[in-house]
Amino acid sequence: MKISNETRVGILATFAIVIVILGVNFLRGKNVFSRNVVFYAKYHDVVGLAASNPVMLYGVKVGQVDQLTFLKVSPTDTTIRYGLEMKIKELTKELFAAQSSIQKDSIQKAIAICNHNLGPYTQRVEVRFHVFGDVQFPANSSAKINSDLLGSKTLEIVPGNASTFARANDTLIGLIEPSLTEALSKTVSPIKDKVETLVSSIDTVVNSLNDVFNDKTKNDLKGSFAAIKPTIQNIEDATATLKTFVGDETGRMHDIMANIDKITRDFTTYHTALSRGIDNFASISDTLRAMNLKKTITETTNAITSVNDLLQKVKSGDGTLGKLVNDDKLYNNLVSATKNMDKLVSDIKANPHKYFAPLGKRGKPEVYKMDTAR
C-alpha cells in the first residue's frame, strides 16, 4: 500500500503538534500522562499568586496552580460585609476603652465571631490548583500562600488532623502568610508609634526647659556659680590647713594612739578585778533586794509619825516639855534661879570663910537675900 505525500505530511504535522503540546506542558510542570486531582481555595487577596506557581507539601512540589478566577459578589454580600466591618471597628474602640478584664474578654470573643462571619463575604478570588494523583492529605487541610525574600509565590498545603482524606474538587481553607515587609511593618509600627510619642514628650520637655531657663534664670545661675567659686576656694584652703595640721600633729596622734593602746592593755590586765567588783556589786544588789525593805520603810514612817506627834504636843503645851517650852513663868523662874545661883557662887568665892569656917566657930550669920525679881 502506497502512502501519499499528503498523508505523510499530515502524520508528521500531528506528531509535531503532540510533541509541542507535551513539551509545553512538561515545561509548565504538567504531567499529561499522570492523573491529577483538582482542588479549590478562596482568598480575599492572592498577593501576587499566579498560574503555574508550584504547590508544595512538606517542602516538596506536588502540583501547581492552574487558574485564578474572580468570584461574583452580590450587593447583599457587600452590604453584609460592610456592616460586619463597621461592627468590628466599634468593638475595637470599645476594647481599647474597656477597663476590666471581663469586658475585654467578652469584646475579644465578639470580634473573633465577627471575623469568622466576615470571612465568606471577603473572598473575591478563587484559585484552582491540582496535585498529583498519588498525593493525599487530610480533608481539613488549608492552602496557604507563601512569599520568599525575592517575592516568589508558592501555594503550600498545610495538613490538618482529620481522619479522612480530601477528595477531588474540594475547597480548602485559604490562608495568607504575611510577607517579610508586612511582618516588619507590624513589628516596626508599634515601635514607630512609641518613638513618635517619645519624641513628642522630649519636645515638650525641651520647650519646658526653654521656658524655665530664660535669660533671668541663666543670669541667676551665672551669679550662683560665681558665688560658689569663693566657697570652693575656702574649702580648698581649709583642706590644705587640715592637711598641714594633720602633718604637724602626727607625732601627737601617735602618742595618743599609744596611750589608748596602753589603756586597752591595762583594761585587759584589770579585767579580772573589774569582773570581781561587778560580781560583788551584783551580790550586794541581790542582798539589798533580799532585805525586807518594805518593812524598814514602814517602821521609819511610823517613827517619823511618832516624832511629829511628839512635836505637835510640845507645840501645844502638853506635858512637862511642852509646858517648859510654852510657859513663860517657868522660864522666868529658871532664869531667876540661875541668877541667884550665880550670886551664891560669886559670894562663896568672895567670902569662903562664911561657908567653910572651922568647926565650933560660927561667925555672925549674914542674911542672904534672894533676888526674886523677874
Whether 121 and 84 have beta carbons less than 8 Å apart is answered as yes
- Determine the Cα–Cα distance for residues 156 and 150; give it in Å rounded to an integer: 17
DSSP 272-293: HHHHHHHHHHHHHHHHHHHS-H
Residues paired with 129 in a beta bridge: 39, 65
The whole-number pLDDT of residue 356 equals 66
Whether 38 and 128 have beta carbons less than 8 Å apart is answered as yes
29 in the Ramachandran plot: left (φ > 0), alpha (ψ -120 to 50) or beta? left
Single-letter residue type at 106: S
Whether the predicted pLDDT of 361 surpasses 70: no
Whether 89 and 81 have beta carbons less than 8 Å apart is answered as no
For the stretch 228-252, pLDDT in tens is 888 888 888 888 888 887 777 777 7
Whether 133 and 34 have beta carbons less than 8 Å apart is answered as yes
The whole-number pLDDT of residue 374 equals 45
Alpha helical stretches, state H, the chain: 5-27, 75-97, 101-122, 180-212, 215-248, 250-269, 271-290, 293-316, 319-326, 328-350, 352-355
Q: Is 163 helix (H, G, I), strand (E, B) or coil?
A: coil
pTM for this structure? 0.40
The whole-number pLDDT of residue 31 equals 57
Whether the predicted pLDDT of 175 surpasses 80: yes
- Determine the Cα–Cα distance for residues 353 and 372; give it in Å rounded to an integer: 26
The whole-number pLDDT of residue 157 equals 93
Average of per-residue pLDDT across 15-32: 72
Of the two residues 33 and 92, the one the predictor is more confident about is: 92
The whole-number pLDDT of residue 268 equals 74
Whether 141 and 160 have beta carbons less than 8 Å apart is answered as yes
- Determine the Cα–Cα distance for residues 162 and 272; give it in Å rounded to an integer: 94
Domain-wise residue ranges, the chain: 1-33, 35-187
The whole-number pLDDT of residue 368 equals 47
Average of per-residue pLDDT across 189-210: 79
- Determine the Cα–Cα distance for residues 202 and 15; give it in Å rounded to an integer: 78
For the stretch 282-300, pLDDT in tens is 777 777 666 666 677 788 8
Confidence of residue 158 (pLDDT cuts 50, 70, 90): very high
For the stretch 302-353, pLDDT in tens is 888 888 877 777 777 666 666 666 667 777 777 788 888 888 888 888 887 7
Distance of CA 142 to the CA centre of its chain: 49
Percent of the chain scored above 90 by pLDDT? 9
Residue 372 phi, psi dihedral angles, 5° rounding: -105, 10
- Determine the Cα–Cα distance for residues 341 and 348; give it in Å rounded to an integer: 11
